[in-house]
Amino acid sequence: MNYYTISEVAKRTNVNIATVRYYEKRGLVDNPTRSESGYRMFSDEAIETIKLIKHAQSLGFTLEEIKKILAIYKTESYFPTNEMYNFSLEKIREIEEKITQLNKLKALLQTAVNYPDSELPLTKGSCPIIKILSEGEM
């Protein structure tokens, strides 16, 4: 097994050193061994874990969700099918809610860009974005 310093891990995973430390602090990456001089020495597994974390984040998973996924991923003999099913259903619900919110935001922004040039520039009082947000209609 190969071992890497924190700066090598950061470089190989394309994250900041502070991110590696943060993942370690949050318990997402196993505590590394220490060299004789006290340097953290991370394994190949830590690099793969950080890559998995970054990929999961890019898909929209939170660090708490990723922590649960990693616990399952790292356990050889245990796969909680029912938990994963319920987790998936909840995540789908969250995604659908987010899509609804994004569609509302898009519609709001669309009202601002659909004004004819003859009515521009808008005053602060006639700006549909400010008007809707200040009235709490969205």
| pLDDT tens sequence across 42-95 | 999 999 999 999 999 999 999 999 999 998 888 888 788 888 899 999 999 999
42 forms beta bridges with 4
User: pLDDT digits over 12-30, tens only?
Assistant: 999 999 999 999 999 999 9
Shared domain check, 52 and 2: yes
C-alpha distance from residue 118 to each of 43, 54, 95, 131, 135 (Å): 63, 47, 39, 20, 26
Residue 84 lies in a domain: no
Q: What pLDDT does 46 receive?
A: 96
Coil, helix or strand at residue 84:
helix
Answer yes or no: is 86 within a domain.
Answer: no
Q: What is the pTM of this model?
A: 0.76
Gap between the Cα atoms of 93 and 68, Å rounded = 18
Residue-number span of the structural domain to which 98 is assigned:
92-138
Domain final residue pick, 32, 52, 79:
79
